[in-house]
Structure 1
Amino acid sequence: MTQSNSRPERHRGPVTLRRDSVSAGTADQALLDSAGRPDWKVRDSWRTLRILSEFVEGFDTLSELPPAVSVFGSARSAPDSPECELAQRLGAALARAGYAVITGGGPGVMEAANRGCTEAGGLSVGLGIELPFEQGMNEWVDIGIDFRYFFVRKTMFVKYAQAFVVLPGGMGTMDELFEALTLVQTEKVTRFPVVMMGTAYWSGLLAWMRETMLTDGKISAADLDLIICTDDVDEAVEHIAHADKTLAAEQQAVRSSGGIAD
């Protein structure tokens, strides 16, 4: 939850900093911004141990999750906004279908998805990140992890999810959307549905992708088939479940033939 100005607070991995202990900058900034830092060769070598510890913590905590779906969207959306209402219904529908819901753990769309999942009896996961401004973990998260490094957090979003659902959001949401599409396009992950919800919000982007990127030969028509865009919660969940069943059937066929299913 957001702290008042009289009591600033920041979470830095497992560490909570308050008042005068809150320092400028973030761990990601310290890692990536090496300009003018003569000690980077020494400090970055040791920093790898902290990075490793975040991977270990994430893998250990999330390894026994049930099938899950990562849901992205704006932290700035008001609780009564159409996208938050949609996210809450989505979270509930995913829980009823047997999926845990993974979000960034913050407010707005993330909180709405976590709430819908929790109220429907599902498992809500929040993967937080250290930011220059503190957001905190929303109250509907059952399992929460605060990360220092974006790239570690992003690995967890993909590794422990069967699909991405992307609702209206800003830069961070766009980052997650296109990273997911790139991973599927390059076959780094397979059978990984990407669902965009909020047709009015995404229509301009999708039109630009078709009319500019596709027309100019920067993507193929098959790349656009990696996405479905809908306002229908049932359609989104059914699309994800169908992909799961298809993959399970293919893996079973491989095992039956004596091969090895990844």
Structure 2
Amino acid sequence: MQNHNANSIPFYQVDAFTSQPFGGNPAGVCPLTEWLSDETLQAIAIENNISETAFFVPVEDGYHLRWFTPGCEVDLCGHATLATAWVLYNKLGYTGELVRFHTRSGVLTVSRHGEEYCMDFPVTWPEPVAIAPNLTESLGISEKDIIGVWKAPDIIVLLRDKAIIDTMEPDMNKLVQIKARGVVCTAEGAHDGPFDFISRWFGPQVGVNEDPVTGSAHTWLVPLWSTLLNKTEFCAQQGGTRKGELRCVLRDDDRVELYGSARMTIEGRFYL
């Protein structure tokens, strides 16, 4: 573990859910030896101005891990967890079979499998809800485009045609009024294509207009698609202009395995 003094801490920016430079979802990662104030953690996340910055400190059997958007601390983040594991294995000399992270969402583990990393996350089964009156207007689509809507921490909007997803331009000033962590729009992939389903995630409610690849959202997307497609293993793609991909395996113990690659793009230090 690299040490930091009162004025300097190490920083890595890692693109998660991609093997290509400038793909997937960028996450900031700051290893700490002890916790800084919440105000300082939030200020660093604001300075980074990317969807998530992860901070972690060692504990007896692993690490205590927290995630901050530019707007707030969040309960669960997949891509920044993947990025943190990448930093531990590739920059900080970690050699364990898996990493244990103590988080707001319980104990999460990540293991390395060649160039991929597997995150073991809890599942949330979404519940069907009515289409909110302002949802279609916020997303810039019509009600006939929608097959159904579900509620988890995010609102899930199932669309009839994946082509709608690529051309969506939500009104963030209206979308921020939707009462949820965010809104994820999803559709079945092409029958002759590599992806079982695709999605885009919008979260102005937490200070992230669009997140390229949201690992946590797949903890409710996967159980939904398992019901829709009657299968338990998926290849998924998420994103608009910037995209990433992941493999998902739904287990029978209400856990989901999310597999993805990552690569570092920036290494430096924060001076406080």
Q: Does the TM-score normalized on the shorter chain lie above 0.5?
A: no
Q: From the two aligned structures, give the one with the greater strand fraction.
A: 2
Higher Rg: 1
Higher relative contact order (CA 8 A, sep 6+): 2
**TM-score (norm: length of structure 1):** 0.29
Q: From the two aligned structures, give the one with the greater helix fraction.
A: 1
